[in-house]
């Protein structure tokens, strides 16, 4: 997709997401409930995206969203806020009410030609800053985060 973005003058953005409170769910309610939670969260994420966007679980309680040609930074803010809102809604999992939050890091492709690996690292860095900022929020990557 990054290759297409360079060729076709398209923008892309990567959101790196990590669930807040997932370990507590696994530890207190069991891995079966944790697994069910991941399935519900994945479905919730998909409902907030367009068909041209991609959501993937990359391990544990981490997800990545690839947004194809987002129209603006404001659009990315809207998506991030909608994701936070929908993930925050309590979920009924096998008769148990479960609540978690989500921290989101966002990296945007620029004409500086970032590699996929670098964009992922940038989004991951921004996600950790979001967690340090109180969790259940989002942050856009900026180069000062790595200094």
Question: Domain 2-146: which topology?
Answer: Alpha-Beta Plaits (3.30.70)
Establish whether 32 is a catalytic residue: no
User: Which of these is catalytic: 20, 61, 92, 124?
Assistant: 61
Host H or E run for residue 15: strand 12-20
Report the alpha-carbon distance of residue 129 to residue 101 in Å, rounded.
15
pLDDT in tens, 6-16: 445 578 999 99
Identify whether the C-beta of residue 104 lies closer than 8 Å to the C-beta of residue 84: yes
**Per-residue confidence at 3, pLDDT binned at 50, 70, 90?**
very low
Angle, helix 31-47 to helix 22-29, in steps of 10 degrees: 140
**27 has pLDDT over 60:** yes
Per-residue pLDDT reduced to its tens digit, 90-113: 999 989 999 999 999 999 986 455
- Single pTM value for the model: 0.90
Contact 67/15 with Cβ under 8 angstroms?
A: yes
């Amino acid at each position: 997709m990054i290759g297409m973005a360079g060729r076709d003058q398209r923008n892309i953005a990567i959101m790196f997401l990590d669930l807040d409170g997932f370990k507590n769910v696994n530890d207190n309610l069991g891995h079966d409930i944790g697994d069910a939670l991941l399935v519900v969260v994945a479905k919730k994420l998909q409902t907030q995206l367009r068909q041209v966007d991609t959501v993937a679980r990359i391990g544990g309680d981490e997800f990545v969203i690839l947004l194809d040609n987002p129209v603006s930074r404001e659009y990315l803010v809207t998506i991030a806020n909608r994701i936070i809102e929908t993930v925050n809604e309590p979920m009924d999992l096998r008769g148990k009410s479960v609540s978690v939050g989500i921290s989101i890091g966002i990296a945007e492709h620029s004409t500086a030609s970032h590699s996929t690996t670098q964009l992922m690292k940038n989004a991951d860095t921004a996600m950790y800053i979001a967690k340090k900022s109180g969790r259940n929020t989002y942050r856009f990557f900026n180069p000062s985060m790595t200094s």
